[in-house]
Amino acid sequence: MKIYLDGKFVEKEKAVVSVFDHGLLYGDGVFEGIRVYNCLVFRLKEHIDRLYRSAEAIKLRIPMTEIEAMETTVKTLKANKLKDAYIRFVVTRGVGDLGLDPRKCPKATIFIITDKISLYPEEFYRKGLKIITATTRRNYPKALDGRIKSLNYLNNILAKIDAIKAGTEEAIMLTHDGYVAECTGDNIFIIKDGVLMTPPADIGALEGITRDAVMDIARRVKMPCQEKMLRMEDVYAANEVFLTGTAAEIVPVVSIDERKIGSGKPGGATLKLKKAFEVITKTDGVKYAL
């Protein structure tokens, strides 16, 4: 496996960063996860746009243009001869000293990993996920905005530990005042009386690329769709619930906190949206040839 690292392709075993890199010392950096389907990088421009927005939000300068970032992503895929893949594009603050001061880091570190990923077993896409509500609350957005896809993921990891302790794969994270924000690695949607709803990003949820794609699909098929503040009572009472994410794609939820959602099986509207999403992954992105 070849990794892009600061302008060069290196073998996996030689892809190393300094122990003084602030991405390692402090989680000071940003990243994107991107999917590739049959030599099509799904919504590559949208992912790179979000990467640069996240970097700007933390005043991190990426030492290449957005066009160069897109081109380098495709070159990394070609170097590994991958048709279907998961991409992890990472930008750290770079090498500094043991202090917090970002001015001590003169140049960002960039690395790109292209590999395979399977977030959930196929069984969960057919039968649905059983999840819980995490005891860990989502970061307060005025302290750390959830729309920044930063390397600081400890908040999500602690909630993931809540899920693991409960014997589940995912957990819903609530805001400090009890509203539904997102899951540890996925956005959440509910369907109630034919209306598709998801929490607004400004309460601490990531503006997911797959989330946006699902909302685009809903609008095209004339399915009412809205961002709405949701309590857990709304989620429990939903006819259908599903999660979205780059790695997860669209996965149905059939039980939350041991409460059955709808019929207890993946819902018809969810499955239709999932099928429509699979169609756009064949056309919506940047195509390349090996």
C-beta separation of 159 from 134 below 8 A: yes
Which residues have a Cβ under 8 Å from the Cβ of 134 and sit 6 or more positions away?
158, 159, 162, 163, 171, 172, 173, 174, 184
Q: CA-CA distance, 172 to 147, in Å (whole number)?
A: 17
Q: Which candidate in 14, 78, 81, 149 is catalytic? A: 149
3-state class of 156 per DSSP? helix
* CA nearest neighbour of 274 among 141, 125, 137: 125
- Retrieve residue 84's tokens: 């279907």
Q: Can 228 be counted among the known catalytic residues? A: no
Give the DSSP letter of residue 103.
G
C-beta separation of 203 from 229 below 8 A: yes
The strand order across the sheet containing 40-42 reads 8-11, 2-5, 109-115, 85-92, 29-36, 40-42, 285-287
C-beta separation of 44 from 87 below 8 A: no
Q: Phi/psi zone of residue 94: left (φ > 0), alpha (ψ -120 to 50 degrees), beta?
A: left
- Positions marked catalytic: 149
